[in-house]
Structure 1
Amino acid sequence: MPARYTFGGDEHLFVECSSEMSLEAFFKSLSMATAVRESRIRGVTEICPANASFQVKFNPDLIKPDDILREVQAIEGVAEKSEPVLKTRIIEIPVFYNDPWTYETLMRFRERHQEPGGTDLDYAARINGYGGVEDFVAAHAGSPWFVSMVGFVAGLPFMYQMVERQRQIEVPKYLRPRTDTPKLTVGHGGCFGCIYSVRGAGGYQMFGVTPMPIFDPTQQTSYLRDFMVFFRPGDIVKFKPVDRDGYDTAVEEVDKKLFSPPIREVRFDLREFSKDIHGYNAALEGVLHGH
């Protein structure tokens, strides 16, 4: 479907590729945003990609609104004809599910939750039709996730699981947001997963924590020395469940600047993925583990 264009004030153009999140919409928005950046249109000062849309900031003294609209619409025409292929990377992220820190936090804010009698994992498992928390965790970690957007707070990735729509995990946010969320919490709201890059307020359901820093403004973390934000749109994430010992070992390695997440370069083809989602995901995981 054609993108929807709206102006925000006199220096922003908002491009909505779809009103619903899908990998197709994400691919279109990412390819268009990348093409706008590479086109170096005179007057464009910033491009902000989102899940299925992006926003272009421009200087109206250098380019008129009608002209920027015409330029971006031309890019849309080219993007629709281009191959849905992305050079990206797949990353393995350790997660300590059902950890004591998110548990302590969710218990403090139980009156803000849909079902105060259980945990966030209990609730997510039940409403998604799983037999229990163990089955739910297996599904959450069993298929990879696309990073569709980075932002809201510095370094926070929004992730969309790479499964058939009927298998999408969907969980509403808390009835009222919490005033606290542990740093590096793996959360979920709607159809999106996320990792809280810093401690702070939040409304997503809390499933666990990762020992792996994803945002470091000091750039002291071994793998964040070049850039303080780890994730970028298009990254593919595979969660790896770890126990308390695994978590503590990883934290120690991070502190000693020895931790390095498994990362492999991949070429993702949306058409091939759509033909055999399960098989394609298995092949991606094979690349991650060198098979």
Structure 2
Amino acid sequence: MELADGARLSYGGEEFVFVEMTEHMSLPGALRIQAIADALVDLDIDGVRDVCPSNASYMVRVDPDRCDPRSLLDPIRDQHRRFVGADDVALETEILEVPVLYDDPWTTETVMRFRDRHQSDHENDLEYITRVNGFESTDAFIAAHSGNPFIVTFMCFVPGNAESMQLVPEEMQIQAPKYVRPRTDTPERALGHGGAFATIYPARGAGGYQLVGRAATPVFDLSQTLPDFAADPVLAHAGLLVKYRPIDRDEYDAVRVEVEERRYRYLRRPVTFTLADFLDDPLDYNRHLLEELHSD
């Protein structure tokens, strides 16, 4: 079924409603999806169990004993009319800083074991992504990757895994192909970049993103013993703004001690992200966001 804005709605049995917004991914489109998903959650419709936004679509899961998925057609149409374009999007969210050791020894050792699955048989992932994006040095790549915040657009695959796009003009977006064949090993907390998306691997396992560093802090804490995970074992949520902060090995080791002693606290601040203001002057708006992050 096609909605008035061109989105396509379909049903998955008695439990799911799937809405495909576009056939391509874009930052404005992903943020419009996030606004619609948040609004559907705010309606608190009886029987709606989950509203799951992604980069070009979203899905609603219902309890069929309490909610007929066909009854959601009108509420969905209403929210699509409410958020006609991306310029109408304003997200009540927060900005959070993640300390990252770029060019770390653990991901470097890992990626060099898998060059037979990679586009380049001699460069490590950081060197490769630096070259294909036209940066003069890995330091220049790190400065670009950490200079502007990212926004989480898709919670995916395993708990804590969150894909995010950088809040920069399209011509500044860092792009990287995934591995030709996925690795069978990735260090826990590795920072990867694939396509236009960055993510931190919450646990050790397989992966296909280019690895550029390692976070000193977790994004998933099943035990919920770290203060920032007291209410939820998953750190990120759709719409969260993430700023990667480069650190050296000494600070990485110091932060790891704080984490292991269960006393580390993330630097985080609540913010209102207004897409129209961002699109008007992206880099100036980012400076405003970072000022909010570091405000007392």
TM-score scaled by length of structure 1? 0.94
Superposition pairs of residues 3-152 of structure 1, within 5 angstroms? 3-60=7-64, 62-80=66-84, 83-152=88-157
The corresponding residue for 1:271 is 276
Which residue does the alignment assign to 2:288?
283
1:170-189, Cα deviation, whole Å (9 max, x unpaired):
10100000111000000011
Which of residues 193, 214, 221 in structure 1 aligns to 2:219? 214
Deviation of 1:3 after TM superposition, in Å, equals 2.1
- Alpha-carbon separation, structure 2, partners of 1:78 and 1:194: 31
Partner of 1:80, secondary structure, is coil
Deviations 1:149-174 (A, max 9, x none): 22311111111000111111110100
Q: Which moved more, 1:60-69 or 1:157-166?
A: 60-69
Rate the CA distance shift 1:110–1:222 in 2: closer, same or farther, 3 A.
same
Supply the distance in 1 between the matched residues of 2:62 and 2:160 (Cα, whole angstroms).
24
The amino acid that maps onto 2:243 is K
Q: Aligned residue for 1:181?
A: 186
| 2: CA distance, partners of 1:171 / 1:83 | 30
What are the equivalent positions in structure 2 for 1:174-253 lying under 5 Å apart? 174-253=179-258
Matching residue's letter, 2:79: I
Per the alignment, in what secondary structure is the counterpart of residue 37 of structure 1? helix
| Alpha-carbon RMSD | 1.8
Offset at residue 6 of structure 1 (A):
2.1
- Provide closer, same or farther for how the CA distance between residues 249 and 274 of structure 1 changes in structure 2, counting only shifts above 3 A: same
Whole-Å separation in 2 of the counterparts to 1:42 and 1:89: 28
Q: What 5-or-longer segments of structure 2 have no aligned partner?
A: none
- Written as runs of structure 1 = structure 2, the 5 A alignment for 1:160-171 is 160-171=165-176
Q: How far apart, CA to CA, are the structure 1 residues paired with 2:283 and 2:135?
A: 19
Opposite residue 77 of structure 2, the aligned amino acid is Q
Sequence identity percentage: 41
Q: Structure 2 vs 1, CA of residues 246 and 275 (structure 1 numbering), >3 Å: closer, same or farther?
A: same
Q: How many residues align?
A: 291
Give the distance between the partners of 2:68 and 2:231, measured in 1 at CA.
37
Q: Distance in 1 between matches of 2:280 and 2:197?
A: 23
Amino acid at match of 2:34: L
Give the whole-Å Cα distance in 2 for the aligned partners of 1:76 and 1:60. Answer: 24
SS in 2 for 1:264: strand
Q: Alpha-carbon deviation of 1:220?
A: 1.4
Q: In 2 relative to 1, CA 229–64 (structure 1 residues): closer, same or farther, beyond 3 Å?
A: closer
Q: Which letter maps to 2:39?
A: A
Whether the aligned pair in 1 keeps the contact of 2:7 and 2:19 (CA below 8 Å) is yes
Instruction: Report the more deviating stretch, 118-127 or 75-84.
Output: 75-84
Shift of 1:99: 0.5
Are the aligned partners of 2:184 and 2:206 in contact in 1 as well (CA < 8 Å)? yes
Change (3 A) 1:216 1:76: same
What amino acid maps onto 1:52 in structure 2?
A
Contact 2:177 2:194 in 1 (8 A): yes
CA distance in 2, matches of 1:197, 1:159: 14
Range 232-241 or range 29-38, more displaced: 29-38
Verify the 8 A CA contact 1:17 1:28 in the aligned structure 2: no
